[in-house]
Amino acid sequence: MKRFFFLLTLLSIIGNSVAQVQSESVYKKVYISKIPKPSAPARLNVSSISFSDQLGNNNKALDAGETGEMKFTISNKGKGDAYGLTVRLKQEEDVIDGISYDRNVDVEKLLAGESYTCVIKVKANSSIPSSKANFKVEITEANGFDADPFYISFNTFKFKNPQLVVADHTFTNKDGEGKIILGEMVNLRIIVQNKGQGVANNVVVEFINPEHIFPGNESVFTISKLEPNESKIISYDFFANKQYRDENIPIRVKMEEQLKKYGDSKVLLVSLEQSLAKTQFVDVDAVEQSSVKITEVSLVSDVDRDIPRVNSTNENRYALIIGNEDYNTYQHGSNTEENVVYARNDAKVFKDYCVQTLGIPEENIDHLSDATAAVMEQGIDKMKSLMRNLDGKMELIVYYAGHGLPDESTREAYLIPVDVSGSSLKSAIKLNDMYTAFSESPAQRVTIFLDACFSGGARDKSLIAGNRGLKIKPKDFYLRGNTVVFAASSGDQSSMPYKEKMHGMFTYFLLKKLKETKGEVSYKELSDYLKLSVSVEALKKKNKEQNPQVQASEEMNSDWEKWLFSVN
C-alpha cells in the first residue's frame, strides 16, 4: 500500500513538472500519462537540422531584437514505437546573455516509421552581444531508446542603431532666379537618409513652421522602413502671409523612428533676399547596398558644390551665358519643341564657376534663362558693342545650353530660342552669324561652349519638330580671329543628358575639370579631357556615340592649345 501511494505521489510530481514546462513553451506539448513497455526497439534518428531567421532580416544570424528558429526532424526508424520523448536544449561553452528559447519540448509518442518536425523559436533581446551561440540538443525516450546528441551553432549580432539625417535640402520656387514673394508658394525638398547600420522602422518626418508660415500640402510624412544607407526624397510646399516680418524663414524638420532614439531635428533657413532656382523635380535614386557602405547623397551634383574660389578677378573678362530649357511654355500647337532637361541648371552653375573660379566680375556677366529670340539677339549685340569699345582688350566666354538645329536645305546650324519652333527658323540665331559678330572687332580671345547638337536631335528625346525624321550633318563653320569653339558633339550625334548628375553630359565634365584643376587648366588639356570623358561615359550610360569636338580659327595655328583658363 505504501508503494502504491509513493507511485501516485511520484506521478503527481512528474505531471506538475510537465505542466510547468508546458506553460513556459510556445509549442503545444502532449502530457505524458503512461509509458507502455516496448514490444520492439525504437530507433530515433535526427535529420534536416537548420537555423533560420526568415522572420527577421534573413541574414542567417540572430540579430538583436530578432526571432529565429532552430528546426530539425526526428524520425523513428525502428520497428517499435517510441514513447515519452523529451527534447532538451542547453547552451554549450560560453553562455550568451540576452537570448531566450524553450529548453524542453515533450512528444508523447512517435510510432515506428513516423517523423516529427521540431521547431524551437529563439529570440534575442537588445543586449545580446556579437558572438557564436552553440546549443547541445539531447533527445531522450522513456524506455531508453535515446537519439544521439547533436549540436546547432549560429552567429549572434549586437544591436545596430539607425541614424536619421537630413542629407541635403533645396529651396525652389516656380519662377526661378527670383526671390521669395510673400503669399507665393515655395518648395522645400529634403533627402532623408539612414546613415546608421541598423534599419529605421516607422519613420515620421514633420515640418514645423514659424508663425505666419503655412503648409501648402501635407506637413507630416511617413516612411515604413529605411535600410542602412537608404534615402528618400520628401517635397514640402509652404507660403508666408503678408504679416511675416523676419529676413529669414526657418523651417524645422523633425524626424523620429520607431525607437524614438535615433532621429534628428534640424532648422533649415531660407532668406527672403535669396535667389531661388526654379522648381525642377529630379528623381534621385535611393541607394541600397548589401555591404552597407554609407554613401553621400545629394539633391544637386557634385560639381554644384564646393566650387573653387579664386581671390583675383579679371576686369576685361566678360561672359554671355544662355540656358534654354522651357520651350513648352513659349510655344503652342503641334510644333512645340521638347524641353531641354537641366539646361537652366547647366547655365546657372557655369555662371557660378565664371564668377568664383574664372574670376569674371558678376557685373560683366549676362545670364539669360529661357531666352527668346529678341533677348538672345540683345545679348549678342551687347557683347559685340563691348568688344568694339574695349578695343582689343576684351576676353569673351560664351556658353549655350539648349536646342540646336540645322536647316534642312542649307545645312546651316542654328541656335533655337525658346519662342522659336524648328519648323520655322526665320527668328532662330544662325551660328555663323554669331561667330561673325564676335570676330568683327579685335579681342584677346573668344571662347565658346556649345552644349547643344545641330543634327535635329534633343537631349534624350526623338527629333524635334523642325526635322522630318532624319538626322542631318550640319555644314562646317568657319572661324576667324582669336576664336575657339568647344562643341558637345560631332556631326549627326546628339548631345545627351547625364541624369545622375543633373547636367548635360558635356557640361558636367566641363565643370568637373574646372573644379578639379581650380581653373588651372590649358585649352589643350581641357579638350583632351572632354573628348575622352564624354565619349566613354556616353557609351557606358547610353550606349551611344557622343564625341566632343574643338575647333579654332586657322590663323591661330596651335597657339590656342597653350591658353589657360586661370585668371592670371
In this prediction, residue 270 carries a pLDDT of: 87
Domain-embedded: residue 6 = no
Are 334 and 454 found together in one domain? yes
In this prediction, residue 215 carries a pLDDT of: 95
Nearest to 271 by CA among 341, 382, 180: 180
In this prediction, residue 86 carries a pLDDT of: 96
Three cell numbers, residue 381: 549685340
Are 120 and 177 found together in one domain? no
In this prediction, residue 74 carries a pLDDT of: 97
Report the SS3 class of residue 136: strand
In this prediction, residue 453 carries a pLDDT of: 82
Are 322 and 295 found together in one domain? no
CATH number of the domain enclosing 191: 2.60.40.10
CA distance 44 to 207: 63
Are 270 and 342 found together in one domain? no
Q: Are 164 and 192 in contact (CB under 8 A)?
A: yes
Give the range of the structural domain holding residue 95, as residue numbers without chain letter: 27-157
Which one of 108, 129, 157 terminates a domain? Answer: 157
In this prediction, residue 481 carries a pLDDT of: 87
Sign, CA dihedral 154-158-164-168, equals negative
Are 348 and 275 found together in one domain? no
In this prediction, residue 213 carries a pLDDT of: 93
Are 407 and 365 found together in one domain? yes
Beta bridge partners of 255: 205, 264
In this prediction, residue 110 carries a pLDDT of: 95
Which one of 99, 129, 157 terminates a domain? Answer: 157
Reported as a single tens digit per residue, the pLDDT across 150-200 is 999 999 998 889 999 999 898 887 655 556 778 888 899 999 999 998 889
Domain-embedded: residue 371 = yes
CA distance 392 to 482: 11
Domain-embedded: residue 21 = no
Domain-embedded: residue 329 = yes
Q: How big, in percent rounded to 5, are the helix, strand and coil portions of the chain?
A: 20, 35, 45
Q: Residue 23: in which H helix or E strand, if any? A: helix 2-24
Q: Are 548 and 490 in contact (CB under 8 A)?
A: yes
**What's 339's DSSP letter?**
P
Three cell numbers, residue 349: 552653375
CA distance 424 to 420: 7
Beta bridge partners of 226: 200
- φ, ψ for residue 528 (rounded to 5)? -65, -40
Are 131 and 169 found together in one domain? no
CA distance 180 to 475: 46
Domain-embedded: residue 9 = no
- φ, ψ for residue 402 (rounded to 5)? 160, -165
CATH number of the domain enclosing 461: 3.40.50.1460
Domain-embedded: residue 567 = no
Are 380 and 483 found together in one domain? yes
Residues of the chain with pLDDT under 50: 1-11, 13-32, 281-291, 462-470
What predicted TM-score, i.e. pTM, was given to this entire model?
A: 0.59
Are 291 and 436 found together in one domain? no
In this prediction, residue 77 carries a pLDDT of: 96
CA distance 118 to 174: 63
